[in-house]
Amino acid sequence: MTQKIYNSATRKKEILKPVKEGTVGIYVCGITAYDVCHIGHARSAIFFDVVVRHLRSRGFEVIYVRNYTDIDDKIIERAKNEGVSIAQIAEKYITMHDEDMAALRVEPPTVAPRATEHIKDMVDLIDSLVRKGFAYSVDGDVYFDVEKFPDYGRNCGRNLEEMFAGARVDINEKKKNPLDFVLWKASKPGEPFWESPWGPGRPGWHIECSAMSRRYLGDTFDIHGGGEDLIFPHHENEIAQSQAATGKTPVKYWMHNGFVKINSEKMSKSLGNIFSIRDILNNYHPEVVRLFILQNHYRTPLDFSEKSLVEARAALARCYSAFQLQKQVLAGLRGKDNSYEETSSAKDEEIINQFNELKNNFDAALDDDFNTAQALGYVFEAIRLLNNYFAAAKKTDDSVKMRLLNKSKELFEHFKSVLGIFYDDPDSFFISGKEKEALKRGLDVGEIEKLVNERNAARKSKDFKKADDIRQKLAQRGVVVKDSNNTTTWIIE
């Protein structure tokens, strides 16, 4: 296989050639721990989770580093406003972040370093830049001198003159150039500080990622990821300070996911349209969120809306409906003799071959710059094949063969392991979905179940008027009752 990656720095797809054969080092910028995580955080986390899962499924060893910024102006400000320590604020929101990631089935990174655990690494890196003439100290602050680094701006496609002319910069007389950025901040009264050659202070944001990525992945590593809002200045500054310090190109491939919009508008606190992961998961299954995000190519803008989540939920429900039928048929076959284990018809073998082809196409889509949107198309095609197989078998009264069902389970297990969806038991998925939708609409699941049972009793006693009245009462609440054979189920539409 050949893995292609769109490199944001070169603006073209390139073949992945790891620094160390067989091993891929990945660093993704994590959260600044001062607030709850929102849908923008979810997009980045879920996408890079799939990147790691896919590379591992293709045989690579992956060392995945995702940091926490636990010292920052915003954290300090929040701590002051709430009257608690900076450490308490950081710990609170790191814990909430980890709970959100677990709920979204984002696997933990190999290493999750905190900035405050790597102050010495940062001081050493800054000291190297000062000694080499790339940085200068003024009144306890240390700044990177962008004019000393001729390639500054190349990664984001800008030059110094353009950035200087278009930059909205605060006037700071300490700086030689308005574009110079801070590496070390002198301490202020009441703020945390660490000792350094330039006096007590704390690190700037950009130096944190350079120090931590270098600490765990070396001077040059394979993939650096994050949202496209980080291309400039954060990632541009990382490149400048890392390369100036080591003389080496720090990253081979830069990957950036697109912005998230809310109902086609920019997501911002001023517009009041930021949706936290927690609020979304109160109303939707976590796999609905994953599916919604992965249905879009990671480099395109993502338009978040209630309608888009409802559509993703419907698509996921169609998949779980097929799994529910698959589960029922498998249970029935396993209750029979073992001859079912290896039997299959010529038609079954044809479908199995189609399953194998879909798996290959799925993997190939992800090999081509992690195209999850295309990969999901093959997942839905596999669902269609399975449903058609069940329908044809029922229509012709043919026996369903265990070999085909086992192969279908293997295929969907592969999809599950890479995309992070299809983890639930089908019955549990639908129960959870009904509970969330009922809560969202202010309905009582227990009351619905009671009415359904009363209707079943009325039907059994042939009181069809009462049964119809109950059906209408439920329908007025958006509850649709479905009767099949000797069972009755209900859904909320």
- Residues 129-183: tens digit of each pLDDT: 999 999 999 999 999 999 999 999 888 887 777 676 655 555 677 899 989 999 9
Is there a single domain that holds both residue 279 and residue 144? yes
Q: Specify the pLDDT at position 399.
A: 64
The verdict on residue 298 lying in a domain is no
Burial of 41 (0-12, 13-18, 19+ CB in 10 A): buried
How many domains is the chain partitioned into structurally?
A: 3
> Which tokens hold the place of 389?
């197989």
Query: What pLDDT is attached to residue 200?
Result: 98
Does 59 fall in a domain? yes
What pLDDT score was predicted for residue 165?
62
My answer on whether 455 and 410 are in the same domain is no
Residue 112 lies in a domain: yes
Nearest to 203 by CA among 184, 217, 188: 184
Boundary residue ending a domain (397, 424, 451): 424
Same-domain pairing of 397 and 468: no
Whether residues 168 and 99 fall in one domain: yes
Q: Which two tokens stand for residue 99?
A: 């709970």
**Are 144 and 250 members of one domain?**
yes
Closest CA to 184 of 197, 211, 202, 172: 202
Instruction: Return per-residue pLDDT of the chain as tens, 493 residues.
Output: 899 999 999 999 999 999 999 999 999 999 999 999 999 999 999 999 999 999 999 999 999 999 999 999 999 999 999 999 999 999 999 999 999 999 999 999 999 999 999 999 999 999 999 999 999 999 999 999 999 999 998 888 877 776 766 555 556 778 999 899 999 999 999 899 999 999 999 999 999 999 999 999 999 999 999 999 999 999 999 999 999 999 999 999 999 999 999 988 888 777 788 899 999 999 999 999 999 999 999 999 999 999 999 999 999 999 999 999 888 887 777 665 544 455 667 888 899 999 999 999 999 999 999 999 999 999 999 999 999 988 887 765 556 677 888 899 999 999 999 999 999 999 888 887 777 777 777 788 888 888 888 898 888 898 888 888 889 988 888 888 887 656 777 877 7
Q: Give domain status of residue 109, yes or no.
A: yes
Report CA 455 to chain centroid distance, whole Å.
43
Tokens 């499924």 sit at which residue? 57
Per-residue buried b or exposed e for 357-372, using 16+ beta carbons within 10 Å of the residue's own CB: ebbeebbebbbbbbbb
Considering the domain boundaries, does residue 292 fall inside one?
no
- How many angstroms separate the CA atoms of 467 and 117, rounded? 66
Is the same domain home to 447 and 397? no
Q: Is 183 a member of any domain?
A: yes
* Judgement on whether residues 33 and 115 belong to the same structural domain of the protein: yes
Q: What angle do helix axes 372-396 and 402-419 make, rounded to 10 degrees?
A: 160
Q: Does residue 34 sit within a domain?
A: yes
Backbone angles phi, psi at 224, to 5 degrees: -120, 130
Q: Which of 424, 451, 477 is the last residue of a domain?
A: 424
Do residues 177 and 145 lie in contact, with contact meaning Cβ atoms separated by under 8 Å?
Answer: yes
Specify the pLDDT at position 344: 65
Alpha-carbon dihedral sign for residues 329, 332, 334, 338: negative
Question: Does 277 share its domain with 312?
Answer: no
Q: CATH number, domain at 342? A: 1.20.120.640
Say if residue 247 is in the same domain as residue 344. Answer: no
Q: Tell me: do 380 and 235 sit in the same domain.
A: no
State whether 383 and 467 are in the same domain: no
Domain around 233: 4-283
Domain assignment present for residue 438? The answer is no
To which H or E segment does residue 328 belong?
A: helix 306-334
Retrieve residue 492's tokens. Answer: 């909320």
320 and 266 in one domain?
A: no
Cα–Cα nearest to 184, from 173, 197, 166: 197
What sign has the CA pseudo-torsion 216, 219, 221, 223? positive
What was the pLDDT predicted at 230?
A: 96
List the CATH number of the domain containing 44.
3.40.50.620
